[in-house]
């Protein structure tokens, strides 16, 4: 198990959590799933939603996560899209499995270049669902806090410009949402929901917890996109894309600097926000 005293010193240093702590956070959640008979060997989104290990997922492909050959995630497809996702407007895509596997594998290879990212993805991503997009210029992703080791990522019917880097951002985005939910189970960061702040990412007022999640996610993406281990392996157009994303993200992060004074955050939450914002202020 992991305690707040063990985790808190790492949170005070920003978004990059050491791999051993990430795996302890994941193990803590797996221990909670034992009562349902769900473990890493039989996990699926279908099992979590049914609260039963007897639910049978439709698996269309397997893709590598992390840096080890034995670390893989299943690409699942729902037999019937759950109403909770239909209401959100999510639509599962049905490209050929070969297209799904190729696109996701290329994105996950980029993520595996940065050790802390590879460790986080391997720890929190066990199932991936593929979503339709609104066109080649648009990407989409989603995660459900009630489904702890699953993410949803858009796959275009045909390859699009800078696809592997754009898809890598989508995978990392949702994995970091899942990771912060695991962190919040150990270290309380939010104490209330009375405040609303403008979200530069959603363009509308959001409670402190939503803004905090966005900040953590995009601080993580910034750290990944800035990593020399990634940049040295990118093509010229991808380097330009990464640099542009970093500039935009930093501007968006600075726009919510007042979150450090939020009364809806705990003392730890405010200090965590300060650590996330420190590189851009």
The pLDDT tens digits for 104-151 are: 999 999 999 999 999 999 999 999 999 999 999 999 999 999 999 999
Give the pLDDT confidence score for residue 56 in this predicted structure. 83
How many angstroms separate the Cα of 242 from the Cα of each of 136, 175, 232? 18, 19, 12
Give the pLDDT confidence score for residue 68 in this predicted structure. 76
Residue 69 has pLDDT above 80, yes or no: no
* Strands annotated E in the chain: 58-64, 72-77, 127-131, 141-142, 150-154, 197-198, 205-206
Q: Is 122 exposed, middle or buried (0-12, 13-18, 19+ CB in 10 A)?
A: buried
Quote the tokens at residue 84.
């909770």
Give the pLDDT confidence score for residue 55 in this predicted structure. 87
Q: What percent of the chain has pLDDT over 70?
A: 100
Quote the tokens at residue 233.
């392996």
| 25-65 pLDDT, tens digit each | 999 999 999 999 999 999 999 999 999 888 888 999 999 99
Q: What is the mean pLDDT of residues 247-259?
A: 98
| 141-197 pLDDT, tens digit each | 999 999 999 999 999 999 999 999 999 999 999 999 999 999 999 999 999 999 999
pLDDT confidence band for 222 (50 / 70 / 90): very high
Give the pLDDT confidence score for residue 213 in this predicted structure. 98
> In terms of residues, how long is the chain?
281
Residue 67 has pLDDT above 80, yes or no: no
- 74 DSSP β-pair partners: 62, 127
- Are the CB atoms for 100 and 61 separated by under 8 Å? yes
Domain locations in the chain as residue ranges? 1-187, 188-281
Q: What is the DSSP secondary-structure string of 49-82?
A: HHTSTT---EEEEEEE-SSSTT-EEEEEE-SS--
């Amino acid at each position: 198990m992991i305690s707040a005293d063990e985790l808190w010193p790492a949170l005070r240093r920003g978004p990059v959590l050491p791999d051993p702590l990430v795996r302890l956070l994941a193990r803590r959640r797996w221990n909670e799933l034992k009562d349902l008979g769900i473990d890493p060997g039989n996990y699926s989104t279908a099992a979590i939603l049914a609260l039963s290990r007897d639910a049978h997922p439709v698996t269309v492909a397997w893709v590598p996560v992390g840096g080890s050959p034995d670390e893989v995630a299943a690409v699942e497809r729902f037999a019937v899209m759950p109403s909770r996702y239909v209401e959100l407007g999510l639509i599962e895509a049905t490209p050929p499995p070969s297209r799904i596997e190729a696109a996701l594998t290329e994105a996950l290879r980029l993520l595996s270049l940065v050790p802390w990212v590879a460790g986080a993805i391997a720890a929190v991503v066990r199932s991936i669902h593929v979503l339709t997009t609104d066109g080649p210029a648009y990407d989409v992703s989603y995660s459900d806090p009630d489904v702890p080791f699953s993410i949803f990522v858009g796959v275009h019917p045909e390859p699009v410009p800078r696809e592997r880097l754009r898809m890598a951002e989508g995978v990392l985005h949702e994995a970091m949402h899942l990771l912060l939910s695991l962190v919040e189970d150990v270290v309380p960061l939010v104490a209330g929901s009375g405040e609303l702040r403008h979200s530069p990412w959603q363009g509308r007022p959001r409670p402190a917890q939503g803004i905090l999640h966005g900040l953590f996610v995009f601080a993580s993406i910034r750290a990944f996109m800035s990593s020399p281990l990634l940049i040295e392996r990118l093509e010229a157009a991808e380097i330009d894309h990464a640099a542009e994303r970093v500039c935009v993200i930093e501007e968006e992060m600075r726009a919510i600097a007042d979150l450090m004074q939020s009364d809806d955050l705990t003392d730890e939450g405010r200090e965590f926000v300060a650590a996330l914002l420190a590189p851009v202020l």
